[in-house]
Amino acid sequence: MITGSITALVTPFKNGHLDVKAYEGFIDWQIRSGTSGLVPCGTTGETSTLATGEHIQAIEICAKVSAGRVPVIAGIGSNNTASAAYMAREAKKAGADAVLAVAPYYNKPSQEGMYQHFKLISQATDLNIIIYNIPGRSVVDIDVETMGRIAQLPHVYGLKDATSDISRITEYKNACGEDFVQLSGDDPTAMAHWAHGGKGCISVAANVAPAQCAAFHKACAEGDFTTARALHEKLDGLFKDLFLCSSPAPAKYALSLLGRMSDDVRLPIITCRDSTKIAVQNAMRKAGVEF
């Protein structure tokens, strides 16, 4: 089952290229630290700036290093339906266990258009599909009725929800069924998401604090919300300060302090400003991340 602390992996770069050695070490560290799933090539992975070959290579590296220890959920989203279907096929060849498909951005499709988009992806692969609803980035919002229809498509496994609307969890459960796995797409709302029936989070903060995030989600899964709340309070600054500049620049800066990779990002993202660096350092200390 895909559940718990699932890291939306950053993609390390060096001299303008994918830093394979850093990526391999980073992935292994994530798993050894307790992360229960990995998402290469999501938004946090700067996928919109990856060439197709780099995209596939990143999935291949993640699957190879993971070696079946945790699920690999490859980001394949695009606002070009044919491209998303192609990447779903390539993700399977690369060794992914599942795919993450975002609502088509920029095009502003109708609800029926989004349904048809995901229908084509479901026909292109037999991997489990996690739908990604993030209206803040994609502009369009997959409504509850449409999600209920999408949930009936072959291979659709669950949802990454980044609306921050906790009331939707029950609504989606009613529309999509008890077996439809719901994951939070926002670290700050992850505990509330669990309390209402969610099963984990695809997390940005877990890049920097994998052990702490794993412990937090373990407590949530066990219903120990006293422990979970205490851990949330330690992690809350990190949850928020990793977005003080355009993501994933702050996360990469934090990882550079940990010696995991450089803080290189690709335009139009730029490295974070000095005030953000100070805030991130303070948030790391509060979260118990030593550097």
* DSSP track, 120-132: HHHHH--SEEEEE
What's the count of helices (H) and strands (E) in the chain, helices before strands?
12, 10
Q: Would you give per-residue pLDDT tens digits along the chain (291 residues)?
A: 899 999 999 999 999 999 999 999 999 999 999 999 999 999 999 999 999 999 999 999 999 999 999 999 999 999 999 999 999 999 999 999 999 999 999 999 999 999 999 999 999 999 999 999 999 999 999 999 999 999 999 999 999 999 999 999 999 999 999 999 999 999 999 999 999 999 999 999 999 999 999 999 999 999 999 999 999 999 999 999 999 999 999 999 999 999 999 999 999 999 999 999 999 999 999 999 999
Tokens of 42: 């999501």
Q: What's the pLDDT score for residue 1?
A: 83
Alpha helices (H) in 95-151, listed in sequence order: 111-124, 135-138, 144-151
Q: What's the pLDDT score for residue 212?
A: 98
Tokens of 131: 């739908």
Give me the CATH topology for the region 4-223. TIM Barrel (3.20.20)
Give the largest Cα separation in the chain, rounded.
Answer: 49
CA distances from 149 to 115, 119, 146, 191 (A): 7, 10, 5, 27
Q: Is 156 helix (H, G, I), strand (E, B) or coil?
A: strand
Q: How many CA atoms lie within 13 A of 57 on its CB side?
A: 14
Q: What's the pLDDT score for residue 124?
A: 97
H/E segment holding residue 184: strand 181-184
Tell me: the pLDDT tens digits for 45-97? 999 999 999 999 999 999 999 999 999 999 999 999 999 999 999 999 999 99
Q: Which residues are catalytic?
A: 132, 160
Tell me: the pLDDT tens digits for 194-223? 999 999 999 999 999 999 999 999 999 999
d(CA 182, CA 195): 12
Give the burial string for 100-139 (b: 16+ CB within 10 Å, else e).
bbbbbbebebebeebbebbbebbebbebbbbbbbbeeebe
Please, what is the angle between helix 168-176 and helix 144-151, to 10°? Answer: 40
Q: What's the pLDDT score for residue 35?
A: 98
Q: What is the dihedral of CA 53, 56, 62, 65, to 10 degrees?
A: -70
Contact partners, residue 278, CB within 8 Å, separation at least 6: none
